[in-house]
Structure 1
Amino acid sequence: MTSPHAATTVEGLATDVCLPDGTGPYPAILVRTPYDRTRHLAEARGWARRGFAAVVQDVRGRHASPGEWRPYENETADGAATARWIRRQPWSDGRIVAAGASYAAHCALVLALGPEADTDARPDAVIAAVPALGPAETAREPSGPERLLARAGWWAAHGDRPDSDEDALAKALAADPGLLAHLPLTGLPERLGRHLPSWAGLWRHRERGRLPARAAHAGLPLLAVGGHHDHFTEDTLALWHTWGGPSARLLLGPWGHGLAAAPGPDAGPAHRVVLGELYARWARRALAGDLTPGRHGALALGGADLWLPAATEGEPRPLPLRPLHGAVFTADPDRPVRSDDLTVPTGEPADRCLLVTAPLPRPLDVVGTVRVRMRATADTPYADWAVRLVALTPQGRAERLAVGVLRRSGAPAGPADPQETEGGFTVELGRLARRLRAGTRLRIEIAGHHFPAHARNPHTGEDPVTAGRLLASRREVDPTSVTLTLPVLPSRPTPTDPAKEILR
């Protein structure tokens, strides 16, 4: 192949190859994507400028690749065939880095963690950014609540079609603002006017953790990249923690799903990382075997313009809470607490329990998992407990910090229930890496719904995806039992250089 950028087919799949100047051979970067390979041309040229042959492919059934689009089903075999093809090319030096973000990270990971006997198909290193590990991980929280808005948006945009319409859900919601409230949720395709046979099948996936379990036996280097404001943050961390290869690196910034292109409100100048350059430098060291063994990396401390070593973890510190409202409230799925609205009604009947801390007397550096423990009951045998942590700044702004949703029995559980501790239970709100300013107050909201980010629990015992009726649920919280525990660094942290940690 003499052209620096050429289109070809591999096993019938549309593939672009972008080569560096010179005669080669070169190490290769393989990106397999459902989001249109032509959108990666600038990225491919960037890899080529840095001495890599960039191979970008439309996955089966998407854009220029023929076949049927079946999310998460064909990527191992198709990726393996492409890796074997790369190694047969005259411009290839036999070394491959599988790379990708979101669904493309899934494609890279299943190739890296494929059958042990198929060594010719396995890459030599993997870059997984904001990884969508599998259908179960993307569709549900660990305790079961369905991630409705994110999945409806993805399926409306990309599901069961060869091309994409990124604004499909937004346009449908503009025409019908109550679109996601219609029952049953399996009827969403009809309301969208789309043929989406895979939508109902998505919710049958409940087994989480397959890729992290296989990652424990990985034999190659990993670079995992994520954002603290991404809905796959916990999966990115789980991948890094369980990776069994010779080295694992983590870069976790104050970003959303778009990484550095989607900074959060706590991002600062030091958090503007040129990811392409960092990826290329890491790839060269990974392929040369020059990375220090073990797990290293960097995480951003939002609101402080600092980077910390990835292993940094705060010490658990409970914060006193003052109850404000709603020790007894009604979780009514016909009027659910909204995930997209931080306004708090205080009239009757109450729709959530509210508690607040005193203003922080000094800044707190919070790094690690936030937990809320409480004693509470529901009068229905099937209930979700949604807990939202909000920062109330001295300037009068409300900023969402973290959310956790736990699905459990509404009645007090028996002593064998692992979530029960002295009659209470714990809701994990995920990880924070944030400096909280002096004068900030923290508000805890305990509710029965977090809609439309999560599907409404119907309180009938039916599956929320197929339920056709809804019941209100009376909740009672013991305000004296509610404990907010933050992982607080005991002293001002020592900053690090993220490039140094990634490339060490």
Structure 2
Amino acid sequence: MTRASRLAAEAIRRRWGLPPATTQVSALRDVDVPMRDGAVLKADVYLPDTGQQHPTVLLRSPYRRSGAFAALFALPYARRGYAVVLQSVRGTFGSEGEFTPVVNEARDGQDTVTWLRDQTWFDGRLATLGPSYLGYTQWALALDPPPELQAMVVHIGPHDLAAAGLLDGAFQLQNVATWTELVAHQELLGPVRGATRMFTAERRLSPHLHELPVSGLPERLGGNPVPWFDEWLEHVELSDPYWERYRATDAVHSSTVPTLLVSGWQDWFVEQTLYQYAALRDRGVDVALTMGPWTHLGIDPKVTTGESLAWLATHLPVDGGAPPRERADRVRIYVTGVEKWRWLPDWPPAERTDRTWFLAPGGCLADEPEPDGGTTNFRYDPMNPTPSVGGRVLSFRAGRRDNRRLELRDDVRTFTTAPLEEPVELLGGARITLCLASDNPYADVFLRLCDVDNRGRSINVTDRLVRLDPADGETATTGERRIEATLPDTAHRFLAGHRIRLQVSGGAHPRYARNLGTGEPPGHATRGVPTNHVIGHSAASPSAITLPVC
């Protein structure tokens, strides 16, 4: 390491509160890692300067190995006694072959471990680590975990790419397009221009995301070929066998590797992280969960690096390294609203009670349903789609945002409590019953829970889109269907004096590709048909929201 690198590493250590470094580090660049089919993948190897064998941390990534990535995911671990292998997956940054998202990661991960066994610096103990796509590569290896694998550290990582791309049954247009454009251009630009491009992605992509048809978007954006985008648009049913090669779900149900899961309440993959936790916990696997307030692009390395080092120190200890730092409990969550961390024995907590509010006339949420509460109407026009604001998107404007401008639109309806006399703390998933009649079988409903503060700001807490099933028609007597939806889990305290708000609309574009109302394949459709919705809120049509509270 250069003197500048050492000074930077020490500054990071102090800022993040990490244990002191125990060694200097040497880096081996562009190391060849052979695969069984003859392809050679490239890796950078960071070795502690001890002259001994080391427990090893493996990160398999489609992104640039050097620079900020190495500073975040190699040096903090290598300087504390771990050999760190940063490998570029097939078809990226010098690794041979063609990059097809996730489909080669199980096989190539196994071949990488085969290579690792022959390295003189490897002591036979392995951990995997990394965020996002690097989380998937970990689950892919865990489909058939090698005996050397003794720990996993998965940050904001999915195990099912199909469920991520078709979240809530609708194509995740903004997220998939943003990630696809990143991959298409990342090797054409240097690190500085690449980072700048990510910061400006939402502004640059916005006009293109509103064009129809959606198919052909990558060609309009330029860059290296990314054929999977249009291909995915041809397969918009999660039950399609096409998606099996994009899943590592079996690993979640079979792995016994001790696993630390880290995510954020506003992350794209939050539901997959919580699914992973529950599946591992229920089988008695050593698993821990940390849930911060973060978005996908806003995860805090000050928290995640310290927790990751502590997990490795427990399950992959280094001779002469810092002693393991015991977790206070299995689950650590950040409660928004009060902005405080809390330890829990499990998630969701067992001791909760339900509190229900009923939709009522005048945009109210009431303690009891109105006997003759009537209805509330709104119209969704796919050619002027309701826009998305904040939430679980790949954007630096993701997460909790002020929704007041959105709620002024005539295609958005809100239902709000009176000011709360005492705090209400939501721990888990809000459940919504919506009695809805629609004049178009091809329609969506977007449901969002908001916290209205003393200044009148309406801040989103959690949300979900519901795609109506054309085969599930309205009842013959009322013309209504009853929608039951559970919003993604969260931890949030509504303070005294604040108000709880349910927001209802017909979509959130471009986060979710707009439902054009025709039933045509979304990739090629260009024609839109509006939908008129009628929300019932009476004793006969008791639309309601229920919060599990502590």
- Sort the TM-score into its range (normalised by shorter chain): 0.7 to 0.9
For residue 436 of structure 1, what is the aligned residue in structure 2?
494
Aligned residue identity for 1:316: D
Secondary structure class of the residue paired with 1:220: coil
For residue 381 of structure 1, what is the aligned residue in structure 2?
441
8 Å CA contact 1:377–1:410 kept in 2: the answer is no
For residue 494 of structure 1, what is the aligned residue in structure 2?
none
8 Å CA contact 2:156–2:267 kept in 1: the answer is yes
The one of 461, 468, 476 aligned to 1:408: 468
Matches of 2:176 and 2:210, distance apart in 1: 14
Contiguous gaps of at least 5 residues in structure 1:
263-272, 416-421, 490-504
Matches of 1:169 and 1:151, distance apart in 2: 14
Q: Note the alpha carbon deviations across 1:16-58, whole angstroms, 9 max, x for none.
A: 1111131221100000111111133223121112111111111
Q: Calculate the TM-score normalised by the size of structure 2.
A: 0.78
The verdict on how the C-alpha distance between 1:409 and 1:81 changes in structure 2, with shifts beyond 3 A counting, is closer
For residue 393 of structure 1, what is the aligned residue in structure 2?
453
User: CA offset at residue 373 of structure 1?
Assistant: 0.7
User: CA offset at residue 284 of structure 1?
Assistant: 2.5
For residue 334 of structure 1, what is the aligned residue in structure 2?
383
| 1:126 aligned onto 2:155 | no
The one of 332, 357, 364 aligned to 1:319: 357
The one of 168, 178, 188 aligned to 2:217: 188
Cα RMSD between the aligned structures? 2.9
User: CA offset at residue 354 of structure 1?
Assistant: 2.3
Matches of 1:358 and 1:183, distance apart in 2: 42
The verdict on how the C-alpha distance between 1:370 and 1:36 changes in structure 2, with shifts beyond 3 A counting, is same
User: CA offset at residue 308 of structure 1?
Assistant: 2.9
Matches within 5 A, 1:492-503: none
Matches of 1:411 and 1:22, distance apart in 2: 66
The verdict on how the C-alpha distance between 1:94 and 1:145 changes in structure 2, with shifts beyond 3 A counting, is same
User: CA offset at residue 163 of structure 1?
Assistant: 5.2
Q: Note the alpha carbon deviations across 1:44-77, whole angstroms, 9 max, x for none.
A: 1211121111111111111232321111111111
User: CA offset at residue 321 of structure 1?
Assistant: 4.0
Q: Note the alpha carbon deviations across 1:70-109, whole angstroms, 9 max, x for none.
A: 1111111111111122222111110100111000111111
Aligned residue identity for 1:318: T
For residue 486 of structure 1, what is the aligned residue in structure 2?
547
Matches of 1:467 and 1:444, distance apart in 2: 31
Matches of 1:413 and 1:37, distance apart in 2: 52
Matches of 1:412 and 1:46, distance apart in 2: 53
Matches of 1:334 and 1:53, distance apart in 2: 54
User: CA offset at residue 177 of structure 1?
Assistant: 4.5
Aligned residue identity for 1:384: D
The verdict on how the C-alpha distance between 1:474 and 1:166 changes in structure 2, with shifts beyond 3 A counting, is farther
Matches of 2:381 and 2:83, distance apart in 1: 56
The one of 6, 10, 14 aligned to 2:33: 10
Matches within 5 A, 1:19-418: 19-39=47-67, 40-42=69-71, 43-114=73-144, 119=146, 123-141=149-167, 143-159=168-184, 162=187, 165=194, 174=203, 177-194=206-223, 195-203=225-233, 204=235, 206-207=238-239, 210-243=247-280, 244=283, 246-258=285-297, 260-261=299-300, 273-287=302-316, 296-304=330-338, 305-309=340-344, 310-313=346-349, 314-324=352-362, 327-340=376-389, 342-344=404-406, 350-409=410-469, 413=473
For residue 270 of structure 1, what is the aligned residue in structure 2?
none
Aligned residue identity for 1:72: V
Aligned residue identity for 1:487: P
Seq. identity, %: 29
Contiguous gaps of at least 5 residues in structure 2:
1-23, 35-39, 318-323, 364-374, 390-402
The verdict on how the C-alpha distance between 1:13 and 1:396 changes in structure 2, with shifts beyond 3 A counting, is same
8 Å CA contact 2:387–2:406 kept in 1: the answer is no
The verdict on how the C-alpha distance between 1:423 and 1:71 changes in structure 2, with shifts beyond 3 A counting, is closer
User: CA offset at residue 363 of structure 1?
Assistant: 0.9
Matches of 1:259 and 1:190, distance apart in 2: 29
Secondary structure class of the residue paired with 1:391: strand
Matches of 1:72 and 1:160, distance apart in 2: 18
Secondary structure class of the residue paired with 1:241: helix
The verdict on how the C-alpha distance between 1:176 and 1:408 changes in structure 2, with shifts beyond 3 A counting, is closer
Matches of 2:57 and 2:201, distance apart in 1: 38
8 Å CA contact 1:157–1:166 kept in 2: the answer is no
Q: Note the alpha carbon deviations across 1:231-272, whole angstroms, 9 max, x for none.
A: 11111110111124631111111111145439xxxxxxxxxx
User: What count of residue pairs does the alignment treat as equivalent?
Assistant: 464
Matches of 2:288 and 2:473, distance apart in 1: 40
Secondary structure class of the residue paired with 1:470: coil
For residue 418 of structure 1, what is the aligned residue in structure 2?
none
| 1:462 aligned onto 2:524 | no
